[in-house]
A = this chain, B = another copy of it.
Amino acid sequence: MSSTFGKLLTITTFGESHGPAVGVILDGCPPGIAVTAELVQRDLDRRRPGQSAVTTQRKEPDLVEILSGVFEGVTTGATIALVVRSVDARSQDYSNLKDVFRPGHADYTYWQKYGVRDHRGSGRSSGRETVGRVAAGAIARAVLEGVGARVQAYTVQVGDLVAGARELEFAEQNVVRCPDRAMAPRMEAAILKSREAGDSLGGVVEIMATGVPAGLGDPVMDKLDASLAWGLMSIGAVKGFEIGEGFAAAKMRGSEMNDRMTAAGFATNYAGGILGGISTGEPIVARIAVKPPSSIAIPQKTVDVHGEEREFAIQGRHDPCLCPRVVPVAEAMTCLTLADALLRQRAIESWRPRVRV
């Protein structure tokens, strides 16, 4: 099971939903970055369950402990280990699911792959695995902020409801994390209504990175958008990724889509901040499609490990719509991808011939 992401700046996450702890190792972090438990906690608190009525009611304080790699408030260049203990794991909620393949979950495929399964709360396939991503992402964010880059994600669609405005400060002031003042309460209402019906809703999260230097990413296999796609599609429940105009580009003509350059810089940004796999210096804009959570209260039919048909109802505490909590995870994966590309670029840019624009 590969739990590692990145090339020079790498993370490896660990931990099951109902095990004693989840966490991450961040390796390759440059020295001299100011990092404290509080800095990491800030992002973890945004991912934490039980924040509002639109998220799962599991109560986890998700307090991070830094086990290594930080000395007297700064990174030393050494491997950073971050651990979060779990406290509110109610494994008994899952005892009736021990031998059942829940539809839309990884139960069946995990069983096919490994032949064993930690059935408690999806084990390793749980969204709880993302605690480690968010913790490491907070440090990657600090690396990026050191060069003036800023990453924010927000919910732009819930079910049929699509945000128009992009008031980014507002996005962190409502439980749905929607940047549209008019749409946010409607989205919240839709999620609550869906939960009352025992059902769940999908949505779309947009990621915006500003201040990213030009020149990050590689032109062939490690195109910056390909790396972002890998990182963001590795988040559970994400079913699609697009950069810039994305699928809308299919309907455009070249004369429309080509971002014209002037002496003042790019006149448009249909490309979404990346050309030929390398950042242009313009804002990087990407979107991910988030499926409705598989865990719903409505009784469902399925089969068990013996191939017998069964009906079951899920009793655990679950998110009725994942978007609000995918937001910090999407930010984390974006920060990690960009910081890794930044480090790799540092490795070559000192060699760059001096004849420049």
Contacts and interface: CB of A to CB of B under 8 A. Distances in A.
Interface string A3-38: 111011010111110011111010110111100000
A221 B255 contact: no
Nearest to A280: B109
Interface stretch (A43-51, A177-185, A258-266): A258-266
A296 B33 contact: no
A221 B3 contact: yes
Interface string A297-327: 0101111011111000000000000000000
Interface stretch (A53-61, A166-174, A226-234): A226-234
B221 A234 contact: yes
A65 B83 CA distance: 13
B239 A240 contact: no
Instruction: Tell me the number of copies of this protein.
Output: 4
A276 B233 contact: no
A217 to B, nearest CB: 8
B303 A261 contact: yes
Nearest to A216: B113
B105 A67 contact: no
A77 B249 contact: no
A204 interface: yes
B219 A125 contact: yes
A88 interface: no
Interface string A325-353: 00000000000000000011111111111
B261 A214 contact: no
A121 to B, nearest CB: 12
Interface string A221-255: 11101110111011010011111111111111111
A280 B303 CA distance: 14
B260 A302 contact: yes
Interface in A98-114: 101, 103-106, 108-114
Contacts of A263: 303, 307-309
Contacts of A257: 104, 202, 291-292, 294
